[in-house]
Structure 1
């Protein structure tokens, strides 16, 4: 990592580091879809072009050993293992299952391994799901709403819609025989979509959880709809508030919505672990298909090489990545924040927002989130809902 890049992650006084507890393993670096908003393939970083298409047996073996080494050194009681891509189901599910078995064999007794695969769903079949389930691998499904028109940007490389395959996958996961394998839905917010239509159409698919994601962007490359017009200064908050009110006021809280639940927990003074909110140290690390150890992919929306550490599982333990300035910044809480954030009354709830959303080319990541106005409005709205419950 060059001097310029290191300066972008400068800290005041970092807190002691936390071990990694979530290992995101790229089993395949390519995707069968070409979603035009994808930060992996259509953003600032094109490092994926230099990666092997699939992780070799040697790389997966080294990764399993390094995870076991880290879990042993830090006496982890549990860890999350996310099989990612690209599209991870481009890799044979039997290979994924064998890798999960190797990780379980490598960690110490008493360390629970919670594996999941995050997929666009197009390649999910009954047979593949059975193999994943046999190894205890849950399935997260990525889609942008519960109707075909919500997923118009999620097309394959020939421009054909992915929706028929995604709908088939959602219906498969919703069956009683497979429901235990369904981890939930990841959905990127599209301001052009009616929020209640998107939300209720997702509910109709009967997922156990929904995670609404803000599109990745920053001050140098703003997300769609930002900067916002003066008459609607927080369009993403307005979108999310419409969903929150429906979720909060109706009998629909049986479906977990991570962003809302984490915000409520933080407002109540409880610890919450999320990339988007709060000051908890972020403890995820990525292994690319060549074995490179990287920070999370969202940083690739900032600039070329933003996620790189210069380390790999073949030569380095994961502890070496804990000393990287970018990793330290992700774990430093207040020490990594801008003065504006430190003076904000919402600091402990907002936490400065998603780290990648703070980037500005001139001064790095020591800025408020590009979504600052949206986060402020959303948090205050949820806080008001809590106050009404506490004092009707």
Structure 2
């Protein structure tokens, strides 16, 4: 059998329960819900996933590795024994299949047992940390920044590597230089994530951002990164830079096709499965249920066909006329997060931010010889999600 390495990311919304009340959280209405995915349902997910991948790997002559991204809520509100038992069960089910465990955490709880869990059981750690802005608060409305920074220091002291995610809002978009300088001093790679749509109307009043603000912040951040000798990775700018370099160097074109392979799925707490970028708060977009119907049906059913058709529609509306198509596969609009600010004519997502930032990067890099080594030298810690 010809071996072709490919990966599937499975984002597991293990619980919505959280000890913070970040003012922009898209799960805000559910953060008090203590429901979790119980071990029997996790076992059903693991078994169904392994059976499905065994079948499609045999069909495709491929071997698929799986990245489990444990998400919330706040995943570390669950006791460490929950994860140790789940990971042991997964090893028994998966056998020799390659897999990794990633956690996205607010890092407000870091006792000795959780520190050992992060050090010994997880392959990658993403810390949600905005550096500035004051929107990540606890139930009493107190800013969590100082306590999380102290826990990040504790991780470093114990040799635990991690990356960070910073949500871009009107409260910090004008301070991206300060954000970059903080992470550069720490030697920490990070992802900038523009604000999602909120959980309710007017949730983001006072700190929402429009596309022009996002483009301005990301292009300024790229210029700051370009001028730095640091090897830290800044996402999604590293991805955009790859597309710009492919465009400038005339690389072999690549084109995204969701019908061939979907590399990220999200499993909600109730087992409903969604393609990355589809609104997982809307059952109409569900591909099926991992706990009841199994993943073979999820990937072959009518929900999957609807999702793939919608991705194709977004690509047709955006990519055909884009000068970067081929250097960029089209995945940003196919799989990109839905956001009201990105809807063209109220129906089809428009590729506004990505195209503008890639264009800026290509313009900045156009006269730099031997582009690739500058952007591949860093050994960055992956940022979770």
Q: Normalised by the size of structure 1, how large is the TM-score?
A: 0.75
Work out whether residues 51 and 290 of structure 1, in 8 Å CA contact, stay in contact via their aligned partners in 2: no
The 5 Å alignment of 1:1-392 reads 21-41=8-28, 48=30, 53-75=35-57, 76-109=63-96, 111-145=97-131, 150-175=132-157, 177-180=158-161, 182=162, 184-193=163-172, 194-207=175-188, 209-217=189-197, 224-226=208-210, 234-252=212-230, 254-269=231-246, 279=256, 281=258, 282-296=262-276, 299-300=279-280, 304-305=282-283, 307-309=285-287, 311-323=288-300, 327-328=304-305, 334-348=312-326, 349=328, 351=330, 353=333, 354-357=336-339, 360=343, 364=347, 366-369=348-351, 372=352, 374-390=353-369
CA deviations over 1:95-137 (Å, ceiling 9, x no partner): 112212222221242x211101110110123431212332244
CA deviations over 1:146-178 (Å, ceiling 9, x no partner): xxxx14111112212212321122112222x33
- Aligned pair in 2 of structure 1 residues 73, 169: CA closer, same or farther (>3 Å)? farther
Q: 2:366 is paired with a residue of what secondary structure?
A: helix
Tell me how far apart the structure 2 counterparts of residues 23 and 337 of structure 1 sit (CA, whole Å).
Answer: 24
Work out whether residues 168 and 195 of structure 2, in 8 Å CA contact, stay in contact via their aligned partners in 1: yes
Work out whether residues 68 and 108 of structure 1, in 8 Å CA contact, stay in contact via their aligned partners in 2: no
Q: Which moved more, 1:75-84 or 1:345-354?
A: 345-354
- Aligned pair in 2 of structure 1 residues 389, 129: CA closer, same or farther (>3 Å)? same
> How many residues are treated as equivalent by the alignment?
339
Q: Normalised by the size of structure 2, how large is the TM-score?
A: 0.77
Structure 2: state its 5+ residue gaps. 1-5, 58-62, 248-254, 372-385
RMSD: 3.3
Tell me how far apart the structure 2 counterparts of residues 154 and 239 of structure 1 sit (CA, whole Å).
Answer: 20
- Aligned pair in 2 of structure 1 residues 50, 163: CA closer, same or farther (>3 Å)? closer
Cα distance, 1:38 vs structure 2: 1.2
Structure 1: state its 5+ residue gaps. 1-18, 43-47, 229-233, 271-277
Q: 1:299 is paired with a residue of what secondary structure?
A: coil
- Aligned pair in 2 of structure 1 residues 391, 64: CA closer, same or farther (>3 Å)? closer
- Higher relative contact order by CA 8 Å / sep ≥ 6: 1 or 2? 1
Work out whether residues 15 and 269 of structure 2, in 8 Å CA contact, stay in contact via their aligned partners in 1: yes
- Aligned pair in 2 of structure 1 residues 362, 242: CA closer, same or farther (>3 Å)? closer
